[in-house]
Structure 1
Amino acid sequence: TRPCRGDVLQMHYVGTFAADGRKFDSSRDAGAPLTFQIGVGQVIRGWDEGVLLMELGEKAKLEISSDFGYGRQGAGNVIPPNADLIFVVELVAINGLKAPQDDTLMYGAGLMCLSFIALKICGCM
């Protein structure tokens, strides 16, 4: 099951800076998944586009260039301007339907990697 634009999702995530690997945010540290509507601008563009390619229960690594992240403005005192970001994400629920707690489904064939840095360079987006 994949999400569609407008679906309400629950995601766990850990966000790090691509340049040095420092963690800047984590839903697991906060103790609860992030709930948001996908494809309507509630999250950064890299999430809005990348998460739509995921299956319920899947984990993925989103490599997001600043153009698909927070861009020239950054985000408050946490994310500087023009920062490339990496998010390891897990799609926990779609419209209230939760993923099965089975590690074989969680990982599928391996950790999916969606690189918005590479996609932008190759002209795929």
Structure 2
Amino acid sequence: MTRNAGTVPIGRAPEAVRQRIEVMERLLERSFTIPGTRQTVGLDALLGLVPVGGDVITALMGLYMVWEARNLGMSRGAMLRMAGNVGVDWLIGLIPGVGDVADFFFRSNTRNLRILRKHLDRHHPATATITL
């Protein structure tokens, strides 16, 4: 599959799925660095500041990773764990103040990326990438 630099490939190929889920996790959890710190935040934390609506939007974006897991043929148990991570993040996010702080400590999309990477590394080892 050829692609232009800076684009995310389309398709069900495991390589394409890996790239899309890594981009989604980065967008939701690590898009921005808080000035003066090394702490990163993403759309999950920023949209979480919008009462209810922001949490719903980010939960739907998080469920996209579960949908990709289904397309990869992951086990039902792994997908339930992933959906549970998104659900816990969503429920905590509904609590004013607490949800905003929790976004720094409970990163459901990062947890789900780990689950997806483990599956891809085991069942599609050619998609593995070296991260520094």
Q: TM-score range by the shorter chain?
A: under 0.3
Larger Rg: 2
TM normalised by structure 1 equals 0.25
TM normalised by structure 2 equals 0.24
- Larger helix proportion of the pair: 2
